[in-house]
Every structure is written in structure tokens, then in C-alpha cells.
Amino acid sequence: MPLDRVILTDAARSLLDEIVAEHGPVMFVQSGGCCDGSSPMCFKNGDYMIGSRDIKLGEVAGAPVWISESLFEIWRHSQMILDAGPGHGAGFSLDTGRGTCFLSRSRVFTDEEWAEIEAAEA
């Protein structure tokens, strides 16, 4: 079974469950650092226009997670950990104003994990 490029913490799962209960299916877009810093943005599924150069990292709890090609090149060797913690959320993201917001964390894949990913993507 291939490694996931993106995973979800329990805290993020709780926030996601709350948002899905209120808004229905959602999607995530990892912001590249413009107006809202580098926050993971949560939108109603389909409310964000995916570009031809965006890459789907994977899914968490049924929600697709997208990242720009240029940002993916920087994160290529890392697993994205979608987390949640105290904060206000980013601009148009559905976590805004809840007192808890989504956060991106990462860890570098081990050499063994990277070999497995390369083999799966070949």
C-alpha cells in the first residue's frame, strides 16, 4: 500500500467533521504564501477553481487536497500533515472565525519511504 502524501491529525479531523456537517463536502488547497500566508485553505467542494498546473496530493477523510506545481516541487520529499490549532483561519477558508484553524505541518520522508514513493510513481 503506497504511503500517503497527506495525512490528517485527530484535531484536524474534528474541525473537518464540524465544517462538513455545516457545509457538506469540502476540498483543501495548500496556499503558496500570498495573501493568507501558507495556510491550508478549506472550501466547499468545487468552490475553488483548480488550475491545470495544480497537483492533487491525495485525500483526507474524503476531501481532496491540492497544491500548486511550484509548491509541490518544494514539498516533493515531504509528507503534509494537516493539523488544527488555535487561530482565526485564512481569508475565505471555511475554518475562519471558529477559533480553531487548519495548519500545515510536514515531515521529510525517510530514504526507504522515498524509494517506495518513487517506485509507486514510476
Q: Is residue 41 helix, strand or coil? A: strand
Of the chain, the percentage scoring pLDDT greater than 70 comes to 93
Q: Is residue 108 helix, strand or coil? A: strand
pLDDT of residue 120: 86
pLDDT digits (tens, 9 = 90+) for 72-81: 998 899 999 9
pLDDT of residue 91: 74
pLDDT of residue 12: 97
pLDDT of residue 35: 53
Tell me: pLDDT of 1 over 70: no
Write the CB contacts of 65 (distance below 8 Å, at least 6 apart in sequence): 6, 27, 28, 29, 30, 40, 56, 57, 58, 59, 80, 82
State pTM to two decimals: 0.90
